[in-house]
């Protein structure tokens, strides 16, 4: 079964600094990978997804992620953090088996942005 | 706004009771997924329906059941509630059965007292 591991349950950066949130996946088939963001008391919002096309994926709000097969990684980055980026971020992999498809999520990384 | 509507937003109930959570998917989406989010377990997949039929099952307790109606809305029924069932329950929808792109609702926060 496919799975994802998010390294670091809490990341703290200064406003204007680089944001790097780490995600490693395990999959026996070419994966579909996703990053979602959850603001306090909100649902999950899709930031970006990788579906085996371009390895560098651009998403909303200035975020991007690079799929690296050799490292089984799909890290999320943003060049300059804004206060509004403070939220919890989830990496997910689409599990597939027969006719069953579902998203399996990592434990999440809470991003804090300091002024 | 994702277009996925969940009601109610908050629910407080006593142990042993039964509740129903409702989800209206985005217009035209045929798949509905239910997830449970708790502090200790994180986001756990419960069940998926596609066009009225159960398609995949995850870590769903026998006390829980779901269905998808002809108008494509879905309900998650939780019975014999226990304190440990307190969590945020999310519904997501996608246009296909393959979770190519899933859109999440705002969730229902269930508190069992």
- Of the pLDDT bands very low, low, confident and very high (cuts 50, 70, 90), residue A94 is confident
Residue A77 makes CB contacts below 8 A (sequence gap 6+) with A18, A19, A20, A21, A63, A64, A65, A66
Query: Residue length, chain A?
Result: 115
Contact (Cβ atoms closer than 8 angstroms) between residue B94 and residue B105: no
Instruction: Give yes or no for B101 touching A (CB within 8 A).
Output: yes
A106: its two tokens: 């990592």
Chain centroid offset of residue B100 CA: 18
Model confidence at A72: pLDDT above 80: yes
Query: Residue length, chain B?
Result: 113
Residue with tokens 């779901």: B66
- Which of B4, B56, B106 lies closest to A100 in CB terms? B56
Q: Tell me: the pLDDT tens digits for B51-109?
A: 999 998 998 999 999 999 999 999 999 999 999 999 999 999 998 777 778 899 999 99
Residue B49 makes CB contacts below 8 A (sequence gap 6+) with B31, B32, B55, B66, B67, B68, B74
More confident residue, B36 or A42: B36
Q: Tell me the H-state helices in chain B.
A: none
Q: Tell me: the pLDDT tens digits for A32-71?
A: 899 999 998 889 999 999 987 788 999 999 999 999 989 9
Residue A45: list chain B partners with CB under 8 A.
2, 104
- Looking at residue A98, its pLDDT comes to 62
Tell me how far apart the alpha carbons of residues A84 and B108 are, in angstroms, rounded to a whole number.
Answer: 24
Q: Tell me: the pLDDT tens digits for B20-31?
A: 999 999 999 999
A3: its two tokens: 């799975």
- Cβ distance of A44 and B104 shorter than 8 Å: yes
- Cβ distance of B107 and A43 shorter than 8 Å: yes
Tell me how far apart the alpha carbons of residues B94 and B88 are, in angstroms, rounded to a whole number.
Answer: 20
Considering only CA atoms, which of B64, B63, B66, B61 is closest in space to residue B33? B66
Q: Tell me: the pLDDT tens digits for A6-18?
A: 999 999 999 999 9
Instruction: Read off the DSSP letter of residue B62.
Output: T
- Looking at residue A107, its pLDDT comes to 94
């Amino acid at each position: 079964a496919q799975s994802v591991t998010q390294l670091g349950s809490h990341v703290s950066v200064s406003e204007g600094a680089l944001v790097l949130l780490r995600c490693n996946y395990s999959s026996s088939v070419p994966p579909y990978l996703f990053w979602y963001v959850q603001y306090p008391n909100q649902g999950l919002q899709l930031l970006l997804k990788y579906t085996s096309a371009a390895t560098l994926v651009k998403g909303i709000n200035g975020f991007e992620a690079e799929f690296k097969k050799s490292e089984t990684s799909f890290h999320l980055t943003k060049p300059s953090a804004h206060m509004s980026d403070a939220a919890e971020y989830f990496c997910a992999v689409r599990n597939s088996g027969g006719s069953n498809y579902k998203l399996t999520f990592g434990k999440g990384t809470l991003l804090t942005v300091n002024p | 706004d994702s277009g996925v509507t969940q009601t109610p937003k908050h629910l407080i109930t006593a142990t042993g009771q039964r509740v129903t959570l409702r989800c209206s998917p985005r217009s035209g989406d045929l798949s509905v997924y239910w997830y449970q989010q708790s502090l200790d377990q994180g986001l756990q997949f419960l069940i998926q329906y596609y066009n009225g039929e159960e398609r995949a099952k995850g870590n769903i307790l026998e006390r829980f059941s779901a269905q998808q109606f002809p108008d494509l809305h879905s309900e998650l029924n939780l019975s014999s509630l226990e304190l440990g069932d307190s969590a945020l329950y999310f519904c997501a929808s996608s246009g296909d059965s393959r979770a190519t792109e899933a859109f999440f609702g705002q969730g229902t926060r269930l508190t069992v007292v």
